[in-house]
Amino acid sequence: MPRVDQIRQTGTFANNEEANASLVAAGDVALVVRGIPRMLLAKCPCGCGDTLVLNLDRRAGPAWRLYKRGASLTVHPSYWRDTKCESHFILWNSRIIWCDWRDYDSIWERSNDIEERVLAMLPTEYVSYDDLAEQLQEIPWDVLQACHALVRKKTAIAHPDRKTGQFRRI
């Protein structure tokens, strides 16, 4: 089965068994909520057939952050399997962004409004895009892409070690 580039939300469930039963095809996702979002279950979008479990409850250990805007879901950070199929992807606005980085810049959508807001908050010392996103109450992936756009426009600089995800104003 080929990998998919979009998710299909199968619903919100009170328990893992019902959520798991709703997953049929690659890219299907189900949200488990018991008072608060607990986990996101997903059929691996690569098509391998495995079910992925993303913990959303920080009380249970390291957790992804879930963002809902309208009918779209986003999680942060990326999902990277270091075993089996070794898929690495970003779930952003209900789309799967594969981290093999082909055509990376052309797939992100963002508005000039967010670039302006990021630039206004960007200090002259390096700061992580995660911290900026939290301050702006924005999705981290949107802020990261705005930072990259500002670098291309030469109004910001990326940290020399790109892995840090830090940027500063020029």
Longest dimension (CA), the chain: 52
User: Burial code of 17-43, b = ≥16 C-beta within 10 A, e = fewer?
Assistant: eebbebbeebbbbbbbeeeebbbbbbb
Query: What is the pTM for the complete model shown?
Result: 0.87
Give pLDDT, residue 110: 60
pLDDT for the residue 168: 98
Quote the pLDDT of residue 107.
55
Quote the CA–CA distance of 145 and 162 in Å, as a whole number: 13
Residues of the chain with pLDDT below 70 are 101-111
The two tokens of residue 121 are 């908050």
